[in-house]
């Protein structure tokens, strides 16, 4: 079923059934990565108190290993690659003794994009089964890996370590990665204890003997062994699909970040020190991500709230060459461009442009793309930017996205039109609603510029402050 030479079989100690992927531990990488994100996004003060904890971090010479030919940095946004390693080395061996001699992989790869000034943060997940072109990599052992025109993205970590993953994702996205943070799952129980438990919502009673998890239907705050059993449970939760599992992982990660950011963990020196102590012992970063740099990033993100922390999966779908793998979709490159440029609009409109603010513009969004849900997604994005929006329903299929307006809404249409990259000039709509602007979303897609720094809302994204029972 799998032609990838780097692919290795995995049998979970908590479940004797054969499983071709390390699914049980994938979510642990998410949890540890989530804490890493919180450490960066949170308000880290009292530097002297935390120096001992930050001193536990291991470092890798990423600049030297990746080399000079890297994407240009286009703005002051920060991109940090978060990696979860499934190593069984050291104390991690007890969670898979039969695999302690296997080469580690990174089944969790999240690009954390931090917009300037604490405006927004987006965690972009790269599926472990994503097939990509992989460049040649130098390794910390002095060897060089061969370039591959087609490889599974998580094998980059096995072949060349964290810096090879950095080089591969930069190669695929053309996004400059400023730093990386790599963690294993050894500190998982300590992390959940440090934040006082993570809230979860179960749609039904769960009694998983293999994972040793027994919880009733409803909401719970879990930590320690119970949290470990929850994330290890494989067949008792969800529908078993990869999409469902990724969404559950993102929701758990968001709940963890929300708890840490809202429960006083980041402002309580004792709680924060316990959280950092549980994480930094298992943390590796690039050499440039020093404690002073971490502190500087944290200070720049002090305006961050959990509602501004979002999670999305890179645009992808079934690989046409292998039903068991994933490939980037046509929407991926426009999305990467939006991240790369940290889409913004000028604070002041250009000469001749409309000066009417979004709060005074009424918009109807029509779906002419032939893809379900497009109008609702764009409407949500416009609402978040202050427009008064309603979904107008479907329209005849059209390739081009365009803006039209009813009587008296000419200038209003310009306010909307300048947020649409490469859009044609608005036109009057015969029979249009007076004072209302109509947005016709075509099949060529749309990535709206933002009235503030940050990436427009993406379909299916999860926010850290979402209701934990949403979608269960």
What is the sign of the dihedral through the CA atoms of 289, 311, 318 and 18?
positive
The predicted model scores a pTM of: 0.67
What confidence tens digit (pLDDT) does each residue in 286-341 have? 999 887 787 777 666 666 677 778 888 899 999 999 998 999 998 888 888 888 88
Q: Write down the residue that tokens 């059209």 correspond to.
A: 398
What confidence tens digit (pLDDT) does each residue in 249-275 have? 788 788 888 887 766 666 666 776 677
**Sequence-distant (≥ 6) Cβ neighbours of residue 14 within 8 angstroms:** 24, 210, 211, 212, 232, 234
Listing DSSP states for 199-264 in one string gives: EEEESS-EEETTTTEEE-SEEEEE-HHHHHHHHH--SSSS-S-HHHHHHHHHHHHHHHHHHHHHSS
CATH, domain 358-441, list 3.40.50.620, 3.40.190.10, 3.30.70.2390, 3.30.420.40: 3.30.70.2390
Q: Which residues of the chain have pLDDT under 50?
A: 1-32, 41-46, 87-88, 90, 92-96, 98-99, 344-352
Domain with CATH 3.40.630.190 in the chain: 23-341
**Sequence-distant (≥ 6) Cβ neighbours of residue 97 within 8 angstroms:** 13, 88
CA distances 317 to 104, 335, 451, 457, Å, are 26, 14, 30, 19
Domain with CATH 3.30.70.2390 in the chain: 358-441
CATH 3.40.630.190, domain 23-341, yes or no: yes
| Whole-number pLDDT of residue 30 | 44
């Amino acid at each position: 079923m799998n032609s990838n030479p780097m692919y290795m079989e995995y049998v979970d100690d908590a479940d004797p059934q054969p499983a071709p992927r390390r699914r049980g531990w994938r979510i642990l990488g998410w949890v540890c990565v989530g804490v890493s994100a919180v450490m960066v996004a949170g308000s880290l003060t009292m530097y002297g108190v935390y120096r001992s904890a930050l001193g536990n971090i291991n470092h890798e010479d990423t600049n030297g290993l990746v080399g000079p030919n890297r994407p240009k940095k286009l703005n002051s946004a920060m991109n940090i690659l978060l990696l979860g390693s499934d190593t069984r080395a050291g104390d991690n061996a007890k969670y898979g003794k039969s695999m302690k001699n296997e080469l580690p992989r990174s089944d969790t790869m999240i690009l954390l994009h931090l917009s300037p000034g604490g405006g927004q943060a987006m965690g972009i997940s790269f599926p472990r089964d994503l097939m990509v072109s992989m460049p040649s990599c130098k390794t910390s052992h002095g060897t060089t890996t061969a370039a591959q025109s087609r490889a599974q993205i998580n094998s980059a970590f096995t072949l060349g370590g964290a810096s090879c993953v950095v080089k591969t994702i930069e190669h695929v996205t053309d996004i400059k990665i400023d730093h990386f943070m790599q963690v294993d799952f050894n500190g998982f129980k300590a992390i959940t204890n440090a934040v006082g438990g993570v809230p979860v919502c179960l749609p039904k009673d769960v009694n998983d003997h293999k994972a040793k998890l027994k919880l009733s239907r409803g909401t719970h705050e879990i930590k320690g062994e119970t949290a470990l059993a929850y994330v290890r449970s494989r067949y008792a939760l969800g529908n078993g699909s990869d999409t469902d599992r990724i969404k559950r992982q993102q929701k758990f990660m968001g709940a963890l970040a929300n708890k840490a950011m809202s429960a006083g963990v980041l402002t309580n020196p004792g709680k924060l020190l316990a959280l950092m102590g549980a994480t930094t012992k298992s943390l590796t970063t690039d050499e440039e991500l020093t404690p002073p740099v971490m502190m500087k990033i944290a200070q720049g993100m002090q305006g961050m709230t959990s509602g501004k922390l979002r999670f999305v999966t890179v645009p992808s779908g079934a690989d046409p060459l292998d039903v068991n793998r994933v490939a980037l979709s046509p929407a991926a490159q426009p999305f990467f461009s939006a991240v790369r440029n940290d889409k913004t609009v000028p604070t002041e409109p250009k000469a001749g442009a409309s000066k009417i603010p979004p709060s005074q513009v009424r918009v109807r969004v029509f779906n002419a793309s032939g893809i379900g849900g497009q109008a609702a997604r764009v409407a949500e994005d416009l609402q978040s930017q202050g427009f008064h929006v309603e979904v107008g329903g479907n329209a005849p299929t059209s390739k081009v996205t365009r803006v039209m307006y009813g009587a008296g809404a000419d200038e209003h249409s310009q306010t909307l039109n300048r947020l649409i990259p490469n859009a044609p000039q608005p036109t009057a709509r015969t029979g249009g609603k007076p004072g209302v602007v109509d947005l016709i979303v075509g099949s060529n897609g749309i990535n709206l510029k933002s009235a503030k720094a940050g990436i427009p809302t993406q379909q299916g994204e999860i926010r850290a402050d979402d209701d934990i029972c949403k979608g269960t």
